[in-house]
Structure 1
């Protein structure tokens, strides 16, 4: 029987329900307003959110995997929910590389799913993600890492509007000697793109993009579009001044879970993989 939880009928946050499901050793998909958490035997096995790049994007855009290999694995094993295993067994990707990238995508999406810790919408027992088993993570570890990221971002810049709103440059801000990653991030701020869209354009993990954007906000170089000074309208790109042509912000609602793959990745410039951080996360999980 499916457990259905409606926002209007409960004040229980998603984190609390995740804890209950972990204690029960539940398997299935927990939906919130900003994503879906997939569980197997009470452990988190995957998290997806509409505002973070998908695992396939991270693998192919980083150069770790050819796009043909990704889609071949989906064609062969998607409906059996064994895409991850197919990638490794076919020799397209080393198991360690898959685990590292999967952990990065999982924690990125979990941050958005749990950032505001709103109420859960629905739990569907038995629903599995088409990726299949890669690396399970204890619920406590996911909650702890999401909290750590939230606190870190708050220390850098306490306004969370930077995370989801379209962003624009402050006209009079003159950047000088910015680190390379921050400079690349700033170059993508155009008055239309959100943090997630900027991360996708850079083929970079969303959390690291958020860190750079909040640093830019703290330095007075970037603001959400709603708070851009009037003078910005003279320097903003044409797309920012023409609602008919501006790209919409990503929907906060995730796509329905199924065995089918998501949309094809867009070709973008690759960014270096965050292997050092991901290896630390992997070692920490192995120590649990």
Structure 2
């Protein structure tokens, strides 16, 4: 049985004009062998995107749809009435088509029942009319690029169809989110999938899907058991900024926060040595000899490091640490 890509490529080769219906999966609209529009239940339509941002009312959309019955193009009617500029309409069509085509060619839904094959209806047009023209080969390349981008961000597709559930506690002092990532977090109710959120927010479904994977890679979403807990570093994933260093306190040492390995302290680690367990070697500080001498006779709990001073229970020292902690928290 030929694939959707095969059928679409054949129609493009014959410069066909009409609609290729894929059952419940969606529809391609072609003009002269090039795709001019596409619809998929997994992605919001042009009218959904325009209505979500308040650019077009439902009444204006219905008028434009009725215009097609009189042989007029609905998109041209919206432009002539001053509802949209031509550039706005073309940009919205571009976004909606690329969004729908991705889910038509990379379907997350089950296949249609046996015997229900793609059906082409010559001459059928979309109510908007042609405003953007896409070569089939270019659409296939764009789908591949988007799939690669998703896999690099979070290499698992299981989150694509599961409800979006933010974590109860953020694993960082501070995180930076894009506007869309914030909308996803605030719109998630632990029942809505990425596709549900896209329709609810009036945002492109692929953009929402990418934002969900970015949030998962940053540790801000709950993932199912067995899923990856970390993802490859991606420039698209939100990264918490470095914490500011209060005045008068030393900054982080070079390499702080990175696992120590062979050569981390300037030389190879030996089996059983200080660097064999992956912990960074303690640094020598001025006055360390005097400290060790002063506390040499102080009893220490078993298992404590022999070069560290004994802990103190002096309330003055504890209060000082509390005040210091509060001051550092006030700076963040």
Bin of the TM-score, shorter chain as denominator length: 0.5 to 0.7
Unaligned runs of 5+ in 2: 227-332
Contact 2:64/2:127 (8 A) holds in 1: no
User: Structure 1 residues 62-71 or 208-217, which shifts more?
Assistant: 62-71
Number of aligned residue pairs: give it.
217
Secondary structure at the residue paired with 2:28? strand
Q: Quick one: which of 115, 118, 134 aligns to 1:122?
A: 118
1:104 corresponds to: 95
Secondary structure at the residue paired with 1:128? coil
Q: Quick one: which of 7, 16, 30 aligns to 1:26?
A: 16
Q: How has the CA–CA distance of structure 1 residues 199 and 172 changed in structure 2, closer, same or farther, with 3 Å as cutoff?
A: same
Measured in 2, the distance between the counterparts of 1:62 and 1:210 equals 19
Q: Quick one: which of 139, 147, 150 aligns to 2:147?
A: 150
Q: Indicate whether 1:57 and 2:57 are aligned.
A: no
Q: TM-score, normalised by structure 2?
A: 0.59
Shift in Å, 1:88: 1.6
Query: Which of structures 1 and 2 has the larger relative contact order (alpha carbons within 8 angstroms, sep 6+)?
Result: 1
Shift in Å, 1:223: 4.5
Contact 1:166/1:195 (8 A) holds in 2: yes
Secondary structure at the residue paired with 2:176? coil
Q: TM-score, normalised by structure 1?
A: 0.67
1:85 corresponds to: 76
Shift in Å, 1:171: 4.0
Measured in 1, the distance between the counterparts of 2:69 and 2:139 equals 25
User: Structure 1 residues 171-180 or 150-159, which shifts more?
Assistant: 171-180
Unaligned runs of 5+ in 1: 1-9, 230-288
Measured in 1, the distance between the counterparts of 2:203 and 2:98 equals 14
User: Structure 1 residues 108-117 or 144-153, which shifts more?
Assistant: 108-117
Q: Indicate whether 1:179 and 2:177 are aligned.
A: yes
Contact 2:171/2:219 (8 A) holds in 1: no
Output one character per residue of 1:215-243: Cα deviation in whole Å (capped at 9) or x when no partner: 1122233256xx379xxxxxxxxxxxxxx
Bigger CA radius of gyration:
2
Q: How has the CA–CA distance of structure 1 residues 121 and 79 changed in structure 2, closer, same or farther, with 3 Å as cutoff?
A: farther
Q: Indicate whether 1:72 and 2:69 are aligned.
A: no
Contact 1:35/1:112 (8 A) holds in 2: no
